[in-house]
Amino acid sequence: MPNAQPSADSVRYRWTVLVMLTLVYTFNFIDRQILVILQEPIKADLGLSDAQLGLLTGFSFALVYVTAGIPIAWLADRSNRRNIVAASLAFWSLMTALSGLVQNYAQLLAARLGVGVGEAGGSPPSHSMISDYFPPSSRGTALSFYSMGIYIGVLFGFAAGGWIAENFGWRNAFFVIGIPGIMYALAVLWLVKEPKRGQFDVGGTPPKASLSETMACLRSRPTFWWISVGCAFTAFVSYGNGNFMPSFLIRNHGLSLAEVGAILGLISGLSGAAGTFLGGYLADRLSLRDIRWYVWIPMLGGVTAMVPAYYTLLGNDTTLIIAAMIPSQILGALYLGPCIATCHNLVAPGMRAMASAILYFVLNIIGLGLGPLTVGLLSDTYASQFGEDNLRYAMATTLTISLVGVGFLWMGVRSLKRDLETNHVALSAATGHSAQ
């Protein structure tokens, strides 16, 4: 397969790679979110509780996802990242297709754990490659563009999954969604080139960092941890409520599976993608005046998103609550690109895949792992008190956690400038360049 080094000024090729990696991430979330839109027919067919659904879509998946992510990221900082991304895509797509063959909860859990292992090899190597293809001044935009794959994946996963399940059954939805990813993995191998590490950073090509060196670096960057935990609690709400939104619309507003798939696919996909790209674009532009905008934007998005989100959960007019989802999704999606870019700017180029893996470890073990599980447990607990509104109030309770995430991000703002300067000095010293 081709593996020539692209030139640093090959703008068209850099964007071609970015689009291809974004499509990989799209497959990631199609395969991840397909279970969310299918959980009501699966629940009925396999006789599951809301807590089991939360465990299936949340904690169990997150546990293997973040655990596998660390060694894969270690390998990505030392070897060909393109190959890791392609192999991971092929594996998780295969496990998605196999999900259509399961006969009980244990088999479905095993298949989804396989999806989690595969998806662990997607984002950290991709993040690292993107940061080597784009200079610091445009990394927020590039990483936000990549993160749009989340919402494009949600769009297709919800819309296609809901329609296929409605017309052909939920098992066939897994087959149709999983198989194309296997074929696209070959395209990644053929067309994507491994970039030169650190080509836009101080000192050029960095030395390979060990796990202990990376952790020592991160321990000296408190901003990294404040941002990671802030993102985690933001994701706690996003995953917790997002994973149960199809069930909420079906149970409390009487929509069909196909209707929910189309509505959530379009709203979550388009609005979320727009908000994600906007977050990175604004961060790159406004940071020219003050670098702290990389964190202020996620904070502002988290606070303002709560107003329309509460109306979505507590309102009664179906049309209006669907409309309220649009600003909620846009504002709630502002955080990811700027936060990833900030974390990459806090470490050496040879540490970026591992830094992404650790960021995603914290984000997913708290957000993906505990968010859906918490909503499911609260829903089961509230059933005796609120009856048919149990899920509504479980999701409303979870929404308040957004303020916790904003608080941690605020702590990150306070140390950001100091930690960026610390990293600049460290890079200059390591490469023999002046810190001036």
Instruction: Specify the CATH number for the domain of residue 73.
Output: 1.20.1250.20
Which residue would you say has higher pLDDT here, 161 or 308?
308
CB 395 within 8 A of CB 242: no
The mean pLDDT of 125-145, rounded to a whole number, is 87
Within a domain: 238: yes
What DSSP string runs through 357-371? HHHHHHHIIIIIHHH
Tens-place pLDDT, residues 251-295: 999 998 888 888 888 888 889 889 988 998 999 899 889 999 999
Looking at residue 4, what DSSP letter applies? P
pLDDT of the residue at 381 = 93
Q: What is the C-alpha to C-alpha distance for residues 142 and 138, in angstroms, rounded to an integer?
A: 6
pLDDT of the residue at 3 = 47
Within a domain: 102: yes
Within a domain: 435: no
Sequence letter at residue 326: I
Q: Which helix (H) or strand (E) holds 24?
A: helix 11-46
Rg (CA), the chain: 21
pLDDT of the residue at 8 = 46
Range of the domain at 166: 11-199+207-430
Q: What is the C-alpha to C-alpha distance for residues 137 and 285, in angstroms, rounded to an integer?
A: 9
Q: What is the C-alpha to C-alpha distance for residues 30 and 96, in angstroms, rounded to an integer?
A: 10
Q: What is the C-alpha to C-alpha distance for residues 402 and 299, in angstroms, rounded to an integer?
A: 10
pLDDT of the residue at 5 = 47
pLDDT over 80 (residue 97): yes
pLDDT of the residue at 222 = 94
Within a domain: 2: no
Q: What is the C-alpha to C-alpha distance for residues 20 and 195, in angstroms, rounded to an integer?
A: 14
CB 125 within 8 A of CB 260: no
Within a domain: 258: yes
Within a domain: 304: yes
pLDDT of the residue at 434 = 45
CA 116 to chain centre: 13
Q: Crossing angle, helix 11-46 and helix 257-266, to 10 degrees?
A: 160
CB 188 within 8 A of CB 17: no
pLDDT of the residue at 388 = 87
Within a domain: 425: yes
- pLDDT confidence band for 307 (50 / 70 / 90): very high
Within a domain: 84: yes
HSE (CB half, 13 Å, CA atoms) of 84? 27
Domain tally for the chain? Answer: 1
Nearest CA among 117, 366, 375, 408 for reference residue 242: 375
pTM (global) more than 0.95: no
DSSP helix/strand/coil, 7: coil
